[in-house]
Structure 1
């Protein structure tokens, strides 16, 4: 049985990058994976000062909005490193929070899919043909944690 997730309030909502599970990475605390991910789009750019505003955004929705501002200069290597940045944050989240680590491990060998109707890169998209990179990262993190 495939496990679908999307909204924080839904079953398996802890798999969402918007879930209220903080992480410590790079010597800083990030309220959510979404805060960390969106901020790192600007590392090493003229818009790097925006990282502070994103880290301090009151909600992951606001962090995402700031990070998706097309008027800002995204780092040129972002297409190459974004999945690495995401995996590091997701792994840290599940190593930090034992309660959700157990939820992830309890999924066994089931496929995990971000059921985003709009995102065909991180999720499966409306027609379920998306690349589901977030689901793939979660399954990879699950496997790594099992073997620690």
Structure 2
């Protein structure tokens, strides 16, 4: 991304952070892993994409007890907490697998929720950016109102969620 911009190419961004649903319609908050958008995948029901990611994390490391608890978690915060307790966790293995897991979860989430899918597809070729000032892995480590957001060279994080959403968008495009 930074190299593309460094070559003088212009980019349009969609910055998002937060998961609150609007009173009506769909907003960019739907891009959050914590957004309440139930879906089914692999024969299981998930309340949020965060639930799915942590469920798959538990399965990846063979922690079936945590996987079952994740299916019953009442909110994404609880799912995240259970995910942090997964037995047998290996950072290198997680780093290798996490991106595809999040892409898979978002493919299911947006496929099962037509209004959300339409919203995602309507972002066209814009770069989706999780403007989280506290997340340097899934987000960019900067808030949306920080002028550095407009320059990928200045991002403090990897924006993995933004890139996973763009991959899902590409796969869902007709």
Give me the TM-score of the superposition, normalised by structure 2: 0.76
How far apart in 2 are the matches of 1:41 and 1:82? 8
Runs of 4+ aligned residues of structure 1 deviating over 6 Å after TM superposition are none
Cα offset for 1:42? Answer: 1.9
2:6 aligned with 1:6, yes or no? no
From 64, 83, 104, the counterpart of 2:80? 64
2:61 aligned with 1:50, yes or no? no
Secondary structure at the aligned position of 1:74 is classed as coil
* Unaligned segments of structure 1, at least 5 residues: none
2:36 aligned with 1:20, yes or no? yes
* Unaligned segments of structure 2, at least 5 residues: 1-11, 22-26, 143-153
How far apart in 2 are the matches of 1:55 and 1:123? 25
1:78-93 equivalence runs, <5 A = 78-93=94-109
Contact 1:24 1:30 in 2 (8 A): yes
Larger CA Rg, structure 1 vs 2: 2
Contact 1:23 1:89 in 2 (8 A): no
Count of residue pairs brought into register by the alignment = 146
Which structure: greater helix fraction?
Answer: 2
Give me the TM-score of the superposition, normalised by structure 1: 0.88
* RMSD across aligned positions (CA): 2.0
How far apart in 1 are the matches of 2:113 and 2:39? 9
